[in-house]
Amino acid sequence: MKEVTFLQAINEAIDEEMKRDPKVFIIGEDIGKHWGGALGELKGLFDKYGPERVLDTPISETAILGGAIGAAATGMRPIAYMYFVDFLGVCGDELINHLTKMRYMFGGKIKMPLTITAYTGAGISAADSHSKTLYGWLMAIPGLKIVVPSTAYDAKGLLKSAIREDNPVIFLEHKMLIFGGAKSEIPDEEYTIPLGKADIKRKGSDVTVVATAVMVHRALAAADKLQEKGISIEVVDPRTLVPLDKKTIIDSVKKTGKLVVMDEDPKTGGAAGEIAAIVAEEAFASLKAPIKRVCSPDTPVPFSPVLEKFWMPDEDDLIKAVTEIT
């Protein structure tokens, strides 16, 4: 075993997949020799694989994703490096009308093995145009798989699986996990984590809490405080929002009888609403209390550090929601 940071896990995953499969390449801005990605997660890859497999582009999200779509349709396995998830709006036509529809519209005659990587989430005062999550928006695009890791261990195993997937995947990297230096022990040997398999980060008996990315860590912190009050929390990390591991979530709710979903999306139209609806439809008889959602307000993300901290859901918000139903 060895300890790696979130960034190192991403670098290792891409490096191993590029070494394993010559069809894998990266395309995006500032990924070449001098930058190696905005936060350095791609450092060393340009020197190892050269400009034909680490394609540094102009600042054009439309060109990056459009070029990657063409490459994927003709047999390559591109990784489209999009920087911030907010920038997907620039290439919305490519994302909504081409990438996620082509395999269906061509009757399955082509594959679309394309992985998009993007930073997501608030917490570093990057202002609203660099801080959204967009989980709900992305979940509403049929044909797109959505990966949201919360640890370096998960990040590496899930990214390798995403790159090997024959359908479009977006791999979302929460900035607070990067800047916070989140570390995990990972095995020296190769490993992958299948898409669509949730992980129970903490077992409990009284309340199920479903959380993603940095919210997993806030849920775990809240669980420690609640344990002191005699309340046992089970923390379920879906790891992928699409496909969603409904069975693990529902089995947990059947055990605890209570559900709180902690999601950084605004409450309206976010992932929390979808997860809550699934449990209400498929496990209503097991519920002993109303489902609670702990989400961000329906507003833009503030730039001010004080306002941003207030805006983001935290362990106190979760503790309040849990105590209201216990």
For 293-305, give the DSSP string: EEEE-SSPPPSSH
Return the CATH fold of 2-186.
Answer: Rossmann fold (3.40.50)
Return the CATH fold of 199-324.
Answer: Rossmann fold (3.40.50)
Low-confidence ranges of the chain (pLDDT < 70): none
Q: Does the model's pTM come out above 0.85?
A: yes
Nearest to 272 by CA among 223, 303, 236: 236
Q: What is the pLDDT of residue 92?
A: 95
> Rounded CA gap, 257 and 246, in Å?
15
CA dihedral 104, 106, 107, 112 (to 10 degrees): -60
Residue 288, CA atoms < 13 Å, CB-side half-sphere: 14
pLDDT tens-digit readout, 197-256: 999 999 999 999 999 999 999 999 999 999 999 999 999 999 999 999 999 999 999 999
Domain locations in the chain? 2-186, 199-324
Q: What is the pLDDT of residue 136?
A: 96
Burial of 139 (0-12, 13-18, 19+ CB in 10 A): buried
Helix or strand (DSSP H, E) at 316: helix 315-324
Decide if 2-186 and 199-324 have a common fold. yes
Q: What is the pLDDT of residue 37?
A: 84
Q: Give 259's strand partners.
A: 208
> Rounded CA gap, 211 and 233, in Å?
12
Task: Find how far residue 298's CA is from the centre of its chain.
Answer: 20
SS3 274: helix
> Rounded CA gap, 65 and 55, in Å?
12
Nearest to 208 by CA among 89, 292, 308: 292
SS3 277: helix
Q: Which of 34, 98, 130, 174 is catalytic?
A: 130
Bridge pairing between strands 145-147 and 169-174:
parallel
Structure tokens at 15: 């490096």
Q: What is the pLDDT of residue 319?
A: 98
Rg of the chain in Å (alpha carbons): 19
Q: Is 98 a catalytic residue?
A: no
> Rounded CA gap, 20 and 160, in Å?
11
Q: What is the pLDDT of residue 116?
A: 98
